[in-house]
Amino acid sequence: MITLYYFAGLRDKAGVDVEQVQLTGLKVRELLEYVSNKYEGFKGSLIHIAVNEEYALLDDIVKDGDVVAFIPPVSGG
């Protein structure tokens, strides 16, 4: 089980801010493909992925219990 968070514009597109899914052992790249197929508007978006509050690489593996956040370009300040 992993937890997925969506923020800002991606939350609007997903229609949810958090969900839990039964997917582990996937690469970040595969998880991104999964949510991009699931939710309209993710394709073509610029997205960062954070795993357990750290920016992740596309080839990182997501383990059971991980918290994954989908992060559009930040605009704080």
**Binding site residues, another protein, CB under 8 A:** 5, 7-9, 11-12, 32-33, 36, 42-50, 53, 55, 58, 69, 71-77
Within 13 A of 38's CA, how many CA atoms are on the CB side? Answer: 14
Q: Smallest distance, Å, CB 54 to another protein?
A: 8
Q: Smallest distance, Å, CB 1 to another protein?
A: 19
Strands 61-62 and 54-55: unpaired
Q: Smallest distance, Å, CB 26 to another protein?
A: 15
| Dihedral of the alpha carbons of 40, 33, 53, 11, in degrees to the nearest 10 | 0
